[in-house]
Structure 1
Amino acid sequence: MHIPDGYLSPVTCAATYAIAVPLWAIGLRKVKMVLDEESLPFVASLTALSFIIMMFNIPIPGGTSGHAVGAVLLAILFGPWVSFISVSLALLIQALLFGDGGITTFAANSLGMAGAGAFGGYYLHKLFKRYRFAPFIAGWGGIVLSSFVIALLLGIQPLIAIDTKGKPLYFPFDLVTTVVALAGAHMLFFGIIEGVFTQLGYRFLLKIEPKLAKKRTTV
């Protein structure tokens, strides 16, 4: 789902940064309130794991790729703001060191993969927490929501950035194509992987460290 440089118009990039910057500021304050000596190693380890699994990009039709993220597991254990900041940091390192995702599109990638996934998955887990497979539902729903946001940002480019002949200046595929390709692939494949990862990871971490259940935070 990483959007490279050159795929989004300057207007889109500026708008996503205008939204993301104040959210990052709020998130950093939230992180300082939540993390302590006990939770920090878990957050750091899960952030590193998210970094690794996002590096395994699988090309899909529609000009982009798909992969698991790991944002939802962080969100349901430590709150969506911690997840948002942690996954955003992983995305920044990937963009700077590996060229996986762009610098101009960093805010867009963060809002999609880190923000939408974390908050969407967190509230889905709260909604279904009485059920045994709530983490799976949250993981699946969170990454599918992320894919919709990324698909939307890509798919609107032919509508907002064209030359005098009507040719797209940036990402060339329309919204229908991006939603079907990107969101469809995550609903049918990557979402299942994310759901299984979230379910197993959640159960395993609570088994080895039951205190994590008491450290879960609200927004």
Structure 2
Amino acid sequence: MHIPDGYLSPQTSVVFGAAMLPLWWQSAARVKKVVKSRYVPLVALGAAFSFVVMMFNIPIPDGTTAHAVGGGLIAILLGPWAACIAVSIALLIQALFFGDGGILAFPANAFNMAVVLPFVAYWTYRLLTRNASLTSGRRVWAGAVGAYVGLNASALAAAVEFGIQPDLFHKADGTPLYAPFHLSQTIPAMMLAHLIIAGVVEGALTGGVVAYLQRANVPLLRINAPEVPLTDAEVQRRPVSPVRAALVTLGIMALISPLGLLAPGGAFGEDAPEDLDLAKYKLGAVPEGLQRYTDFWGRTLLPDYGGGSWWQYILSAFIGVVVVAAVVFGLTWLIGRLRGGEREAADLDSPPVRS
């Protein structure tokens, strides 16, 4: 689902950028509420988790690959607005440092994976867990179903964005300027990969973590469900530190990340211009806009996470985790400073209190 530069028109990118700005603003406003709380490290860990899990490519029967995102899990635990911030940061670092997804296409990628996915997953989960206790088995399968539905909604959004390009942006003779795929091609290709493989992985991952937390740290499940009371047994149970558990998990995932290299082929719609099958799409040449914008950002640190080298793939995973976490902490620090400035201004504007 990482749309590279050149496949979407600049006009499309501008539209998604305009749509994402107020959503990021609202997300930052919501994150203000947790700036000085103990949940900021969890947002950072969630962003790092999303970064690493997207490195695990999964082979699809038609010869392409897909991957989970982790956005549904973050939304279920910390809320969809926090997930929007976390996944957006992960996507931005992927694009800037590793060339995974385009810079011009970043707003569209963020809309698909940092908005559509977590919000659909979260509200599906909430709907299915109404009146359920925190340790109810219903929360496990609701988390799995929510994440599955969210990922597929995200994939459908990307398919539509790809598929409308030839109809909206083309030459006088009908030759596409950007993505050459039509809806009749993009929707089956994207949905096959995510309905039968990637969505199942996303669901199993999310349901598994929810089941683990029901045994290891029930209060963590209550962050986003404060109306659900804890039983005496849940209160007395000594929870496992989520930060320590997450750090160990991230370390293991980073070390085994080269498993993502074993998937043959590439993801649908992520071909470089020179790899595009022109005959398949009845093209005489690479679309002009695709050729023009494909190298818009050429300053990546480790292109394609090292270009097939297993040790560079591991290095990319660790660099990504550190940078993503640092950006989250830096952003929340900045929000906290701005929030403190707003409070100081409010204090200065308020009249003195007479004793």
Q: Same fold (TM over 0.5)?
A: yes
Q: Contact 2:60/2:197 (CA < 8 Å) preserved in 1?
A: no
Partner of 2:342: none
Look up the SS of the partner of 1:133 in the other structure: helix
Partner of residue 208 from structure 2, selected from 200, 206, 215: 200
Partner Cα separation in structure 1 for residue 19 and residue 65 of structure 2: 24
Structure 1 or 2: larger helix share?
A: 1
Superposition RMSD in Å: 2.1
Look up the SS of the partner of 1:134 in the other structure: helix
Shift of 1:215: 1.2
Look up the SS of the partner of 1:38 in the other structure: coil
Partner of residue 134 from structure 1, selected from 109, 129, 142: 142
Partner of 1:38: 38
Q: Contact 1:154/1:175 (CA < 8 Å) preserved in 2?
A: yes
Q: Contact 2:88/2:114 (CA < 8 Å) preserved in 1?
A: yes
Please give the per-residue CA displacement for 1:13-69, whole angstroms capped at 9, x wherever unaligned: 110001001110110111121355422222222211110111234576999852100
Partner Cα separation in structure 2 for residue 34 and residue 79 of structure 1: 11
Partner of 2:79: 79
Partner of 1:177: 185
Please give the per-residue CA displacement for 1:165-214, whole angstroms capped at 9, x wherever unaligned: 10111000101211111122101110000000000112223433222222
The residue type equivalent to 1:43 in the other structure is: V
Shift of 1:119: 0.2
How high is the sequence identity, in percent, across the aligned residues? 43
Q: Contact 1:34/1:78 (CA < 8 Å) preserved in 2?
A: no
Aligned length: 218
Cα distance 1:62–1:158, how it changes in 2: closer, same or farther (>3 A)? Answer: farther
Task: Point out where structure 2 has 5 or more consecutive residues left out of the alignment.
Answer: 133-137, 227-355
The residue type equivalent to 1:110 in the other structure is: A
Partner of 1:109: 109
Partner of 1:25: 25
The residue type equivalent to 2:167 in the other structure is: L
Partner of 1:155: 163
Partner of residue 187 from structure 1, selected from 186, 195, 200: 195
Partner of 1:5: 5
4+ residue segments displaced more than 3 Å: 34-37, 57-65
The residue type equivalent to 1:202 in the other structure is: V
The residue type equivalent to 1:150 in the other structure is: A
TM-score w.r.t. the length of structure 2 is 0.58
Bigger Rg, which one: 2
Q: Contact 2:65/2:193 (CA < 8 Å) preserved in 1?
A: no
Partner Cα separation in structure 2 for residue 69 and residue 196 of structure 1: 12
Q: Does 1:215 align with 2:223?
A: yes
TM-score w.r.t. the length of structure 1 is 0.93
Partner Cα separation in structure 1 for residue 141 and residue 157 of structure 2: 25
Partner Cα separation in structure 2 for residue 149 and residue 102 of structure 1: 17
Look up the SS of the partner of 2:7 in the other structure: coil
